[in-house]
Amino acid sequence: MIRTRHTCSRAATAGWMTLLAVTGALPRDDRGQSTAEYALVLLAAATIAMVFVAWAGGTSRIGALLDGVFDSVISRIQ
């Protein structure tokens, strides 16, 4: 297999970069991206917490679990 190396002039490279920038293929200004990602993570965490609270409110498992934990801690202290 014969490999060839393609070289482009600076003008051709600049032309391609301009074309990519105009068509939106190059990344644009990403200021605020971290804030948006942080907001999405908080939204996901809040959704999971709400689902958990809704589930826990309909059962007595959480109360039994906490009673067991507190009883265990108190028995070890005494």
Quote helix, strand, coil % in the chain, to nearest 5: 70, 0, 30
Report the predicted TM-score, pTM, of the whole model to 2 decimal places: 0.43
* CA atoms 58, 62, 67, 70: torsion sign: negative
Domain ranges of the chain: 42-78
pLDDT in tens, 19-78: 566 666 556 666 777 888 999 999 999 999 999 888 877 777 888 888 999 999 999 987
Confidence (pLDDT) at 22: 60
Q: Which residues contact 17 (CB under 8 A, 6 or more apart)?
A: 26
Confidence (pLDDT) at 74: 92
Q: DSSP states of 39-51 as a string?
A: HHHHHHHHHHHHH
